[in-house]
Structure 1
Amino acid sequence: MMLSNPAKKYVPFKPFVKDFSERTWPSKTITAPPIWMSTDLRDGNQSLIEPMSVERKLRFFKQLVAIGFKEIEVGFPSASQTDFDFVRTLVEENLIPDDVTIIVLTQARQDLIERTAEAAAGAKTAMIHLYNACAPAFRKIVFNMSKDEVKEVAIQGTRWVKEAMAKYPQTKWRYEYSPEVFSTTEPEFAVEVCNAVSAEWQPTPEDKIVFNLPATIESTSPNMYADQIEWFCKNVKNRDSIIVSVHPHNDRGTAVAAAELSVMAGADRVEGCLFGSGERTGNVDLVTLALNLYTQGIHPGLDFSDIDEVRRTAEYCNQLPVHPRHPYAGDLVFTAFSGSHQDAIKKGFAQQDPDGVWEVPYLPIDPADLGRSYDAVIRVNSQSGKGGVSYLLEQEKGLNLPRRLQIEFSRAIQRVTDETGTEVNGNAVYEIFEKEYLKQTSPWKLLKHQINSHPDGADDETFSIEVELENNGTVVKASGKGDGAISAFINALNLPIRFMDYHEHAIGSGEKTLAACYVELRLGDSATGFGVGVHKDIVTASFQAVLSAVNRHIQQGANTSKEENVEAATA
């Protein structure tokens, strides 16, 4: 039960910089992006109920490289064999681009440091990241150490790091040190510890040390964190040989603001995760930070031109959903349901100069810059006026559409309502849905199939299929193999299909139960699109859904070509 007087139990956090009147950050603006460091594969991975497998970590790593990250914390190799093996896989299979630095975290113990260096040895450039907690509560409660003892842990750990690195001269080594729980550590003591580490390491302007100042516990408002960062920058020795980094957590829900203000206060580098994943309340959201800069006319140095692909990769690897209203990336972030919002956005699109300054009401960014379409901002009319199209389909036909399919299908509804000028009832919605998805049987139609399972196979292709199809009236027989029935079917089609997502559910109960399957895929270089299949057999329904999506892609491509030909002929 919440206390009627919480002041008896909780007291306001008071930074140890009592009167920092020298602050200059409030008058600063951000004119260039910071150095970005992704910790998705380490702090992000530690936050998951089910940590990523090597396969998922590899997919995530490749996505981070494609986005443009040059510093990636790839694991805590002394903490688990999985992390160690993953780092070795990156090194031994030469998967690290020459301009990317991998970072490996370790505690200040000699055996762990040696294991960490062994994991990263052989990489062209690698950084060992050492940390130890310095805050009063940790000194008193967790470690029972004095300030001098805590400082000695940092110094001795740095010595061990130097010794471990010396064993592997083929790698260009860099060093990062974190006075952990910096946010509640006395700033004077944090500077004292970092100065001692710097004296042991001997950084230079050409070979800088990274001092990472984490808001491990976000205990106060972002402006006070910015004060701590600026005070540190002004008081630490050899500032020209130091990269000041911040690692804001999100306990108070203000990590993005804390990161932005800390960059204004002098921080050179920001550590965080895509979409704010991370231990406990999450690390700062790097997607939001980067695109906030972009909306201010500053290129962040990271490429989110296909934000849907980035989101799907994160969702697959983390097994966590991205919120539908997440800034910039959510399924619904460019979709308005309020009539006044819809009207303002439509008028903005109508008047927007394609080559002019962006000023569409309610939209801080052009959806096209992120690979999203304008028609994601749509009106959805329905008889109920409350539940919308998806509500009618679920209530009357038992179809529970995935959210992205809801958005896609509502475009078809909009075409009808724009043409007729009227609302549509539940039956009309289903008729449009049938035409758009369930009756898509040209050019490809499924006639019959036979699946064989090989659970004891020597390779991953444990399913084989013989399938009979109709293609524009001609019967075609094909076969394929895969690690599942759907992958075997797709391989049998021998089309440039890129499978994106899959959902299924039952309709009804008992002997009359049907299976509904929804697949999202790309055909060649086309945009992503859905197909739907409904059948009493779930495997057949999934095959129908694949062909539904393929046929829709082919027909949309044909329609686009016709429109282009008409335009060329009338030009």
Structure 2
Amino acid sequence: MFKPSRILFQVGQTTKKYATMLKDPSVKYKPFKGVKLTDRTWPNNSITKAPRWLSTDLRDGNQSLPDPMTIPEKKLFFHKLLDIGFKEIEVSFPSASQTDFDFTRYAVENAPEDVNIQVLTQSREHLVRRTVESVKGAKRATIHTYLATSDLFRDVVFNMSKEDAIAKAIETTKLVRSLTKDDPNMQDTIWSYEFSPECFSDTPTDFAVEICEAVKNAWEPTAENPIIFNLPATVEVASPNVYADQIEYFCKHITEREKVCVSVHPHNDRGCGVAASELGLMAGADRVEGCLFGSGERTGNVDLVTVALNMYTQGVSPELDFSNLDEIVDIVEKCNKIAVNPRAPYGGSLVVCAFSGSHQDAIKKGFTKSEQRQQKEWAIPYLPLDPKDIGRSYEAVIRVNSQSGKGGAAWIILKALGLDLPRHLQVEFSNIVQSTADSLGKELKSEEIVNLFNETFMSNENAVLKLQEYDIFRNKSNDEREINAVLTINDKSINVKGKGNGPISSFIDAITSRFGTYFEVLSYSEHNIGSGTEGKAATYIQLSYINSNGDKVSKWGVGVNSDVSEASIQAIISVVNSLIETREIII
């Protein structure tokens, strides 16, 4: 008999025992042996169209919740599924409780005519009758029955032979048929039938075909209304390529394929539910069953959001609308009472966010290039999906903490203020942002970064030094410029004058004369913000000066105005204000 090895671990006065992982797991676990398929074709196939979708959030998803949905929550979720565009929704196990039965009646009475209401039942006569009763009067309804077909379940759980299983499946199918499409009083409903060989992934595939053939013959489907064979990875027992082989084998060996809808229902025990769905579609499946964000027993059902948006990013319309994904996340979290992981594909709150400096720089450059080229095709580093397509703003793409680089803060300033900062200013501001985030021990929000930029590089209404008015004259004799400006210091007006070869040098001369600090322009750049009569000029100026320690240092100032000369003057004033604040300049 196998005995796991153990180690002792001392916690205070308590000694705890912990089992350790096996050095040779093969003594306990055996690799799964899939179907032999030497002529597989699925690796060469691509997904080129949307499958039929079935949401089982209200049934399979709900049964897995520690705190199941209330009726109002189910109604909210149901209508959101309709908004998204689901045409097939498994709403309940109506024979399980009066609550499930009552909600099924609500779904029947409120579903649009093109939406198929699906219900699940065990293969017991009184449960089947109750289930059919729950969807009476529906425009479209699917009765879903299931029977465990794997050797493990037949032998251990049900003590049932293969022949017994086939007989039971036929018996249940004929009962459903007699109560639905063969009943003259039930002809107002378009009846569909779904049968699941439960634990298909662990069932000998030839037996799965055999039992489904028997069920198909009992139901007698048509090409217009095919029977649905759901082939679930009830427990994911192998890699997704093995599941794809099983699906392709089934599709090739089931007869009257045109009368059969092959549906996949992958669970996520190995973390491969999405891959299993995609490879299953490549292998011939027509339909995918799952839940939004992967709710479900154990590790969950396949995440339909991910499967659908994976198609979308390959240029294939999933025929489902996730334009307002944040609202969908809110409803799912409210109804399931389970948070969507922040790193969940597409839906997670952090998946379109970049904190890394190199990522931020690449994203910023990608947007710049895209705007310059005016390209329609989406091609942005690190972003396989345009956040706007799922209702998210570009402001959420780059978020800044102490690990972020120059591109992150610069991106936020560009998007918030329209200021495309010069590289050296990006570096200086990034250092300030990182230092601030580090000292606070948290991520800085966009508005905090904008406020920090304004306080550091731009003058505001609370500044000590302000520009009231100015005039610039040209000396015709030597082409020199002269400036007369009226400033206020703490609301007291002063006049300053200066000369130079342009507005910037003239105003620097005036400031030097007034405050005794000599400035030298190290860097200057400008660009337009907007266009036409609403356009403004943004100017960036880096001034050097000798500080109180006798060192040559520099500071940046930024100005924005409809007149480029005034924008430049405002940039200089912002530098002077910062020196007044640090008492480098005494007024």
> TM-score, normalization: structure 1?
0.69
Separation in 2 of the partners of 1:259 and 1:566? 55
Cα distance, 1:384 vs structure 2 = 10
Q: Aligned AA for 2:298?
A: R
Q: Hey, what does 2:231 align to over in structure 1?
A: 213
Cα distance, 1:565 vs structure 2 = 11
Q: Deviations over 1:112-141 (max 9, x none)?
A: 000001111111111000101000000110
In the alignment, structure 1 residue 8 sits paired with structure 2 residue 36: no
Answer with 351-360 or 369-378: which moved more.
351-360
SS in 2 for 1:102: strand
Change (3 A) 1:153 1:6: same
In the alignment, structure 1 residue 120 sits paired with structure 2 residue 155: no
User: 348, 362, 375: which one pairs with 2:395?
Assistant: 375
Q: Aligned AA for 1:317?
A: C
In the alignment, structure 1 residue 186 sits paired with structure 2 residue 204: yes
Q: How does 1:244-263 map to 2 (within 5 A)?
A: 244-263=262-281
Answer with 155-164 or 383-392: which moved more.
383-392
Change (3 A) 1:356 1:168: same
Q: Aligned AA for 1:225?
A: Y
Change (3 A) 1:414 1:176: same
Separation in 2 of the partners of 1:127 and 1:267? 18
C-alpha contact 2:308 2:318 (8 A) present in aligned 1:
yes
Separation in 1 of the partners of 2:262 and 2:386? 33
Separation in 2 of the partners of 1:130 and 1:329? 32
In the alignment, structure 1 residue 234 sits paired with structure 2 residue 252: yes
Q: Deviations over 1:3-38 (max 9, x none)?
A: 2211110000111x23x1110000111111111110
Q: Paired residues, what number?
A: 413
Q: Gaps spanning 5+ residues in structure 1: where?
A: 395-405, 423-562
Change (3 A) 1:387 1:249: farther
Q: Deviations over 1:284-340 (max 9, x none)?
A: 000000000010111110000001011111011100100111111111111111111
Q: Hey, what does 1:88 align to over in structure 2?
A: 105
User: Identity, % of aligned pairs?
Assistant: 56
User: 37, 44, 60: which one pairs with 2:61?
Assistant: 44
Q: Hey, what does 1:21 align to over in structure 2?
A: 38
C-alpha contact 2:355 2:401 (8 A) present in aligned 1:
no
Q: Aligned AA for 1:11?
A: K
In the alignment, structure 1 residue 150 sits paired with structure 2 residue 159: no
In the alignment, structure 1 residue 174 sits paired with structure 2 residue 222: no
Q: Aligned AA for 2:243?
A: Y
Separation in 1 of the partners of 2:278 and 2:389? 22
Q: Hey, what does 1:316 align to over in structure 2?
A: 334
Cα distance, 1:206 vs structure 2 = 1.5
> TM-score, normalization: structure 2?
0.67
Q: Deviations over 1:162-183 (max 9, x none)?
A: 1222253332211111111100
Change (3 A) 1:4 1:415: same
Q: Hey, what does 1:436 align to over in structure 2?
A: none
User: 301, 306, 313: which one pairs with 1:295?
Assistant: 313
In the alignment, structure 1 residue 416 sits paired with structure 2 residue 433: no
Separation in 1 of the partners of 2:155 and 2:76? 42
Change (3 A) 1:420 1:180: same
Q: How does 1:355-504 map to 2 (within 5 A)?
A: 355-381=375-401, 392=440, 410-419=445-454
Separation in 2 of the partners of 1:62 and 1:387? 48
Q: Hey, what does 2:515 align to over in structure 1?
A: none
SS in 1 for 2:66: coil
Q: Hey, what does 1:504 align to over in structure 2?
A: none
Change (3 A) 1:294 1:51: same
Separation in 2 of the partners of 1:184 and 1:66? 36
Q: Aligned AA for 2:121?
A: T
Change (3 A) 1:236 1:568: same
Q: Aligned AA for 2:380?
A: V
User: 147, 154, 174: which one pairs with 1:139?
Assistant: 154
Cα distance, 1:419 vs structure 2 = 4.3
Separation in 1 of the partners of 2:400 and 2:533? 30
SS in 1 for 2:445: helix
Q: Aligned AA for 2:57?
A: D
Change (3 A) 1:117 1:334: same
Q: Aligned AA for 1:12?
A: P
Q: Aligned AA for 1:108?
A: S
Separation in 2 of the partners of 1:265 and 1:352? 37
Separation in 1 of the partners of 2:390 and 2:112? 25
C-alpha contact 1:381 1:414 (8 A) present in aligned 2:
no
Q: How does 1:154-165 map to 2 (within 5 A)?
A: 154-165=169-180
Q: Hey, what does 1:328 align to over in structure 2?
A: 346
C-alpha contact 2:107 2:117 (8 A) present in aligned 1:
no
SS in 2 for 1:352: helix
Q: Gaps spanning 5+ residues in structure 2: where?
A: 1-18, 403-430, 458-529, 537-561, 563-587
SS in 1 for 2:48: coil
C-alpha contact 2:91 2:107 (8 A) present in aligned 1:
no
Separation in 2 of the partners of 1:55 and 1:355? 46
C-alpha contact 2:293 2:304 (8 A) present in aligned 1:
yes
User: 61, 68, 77: which one pairs with 2:94?
Assistant: 77
Q: Hey, what does 1:482 align to over in structure 2?
A: none
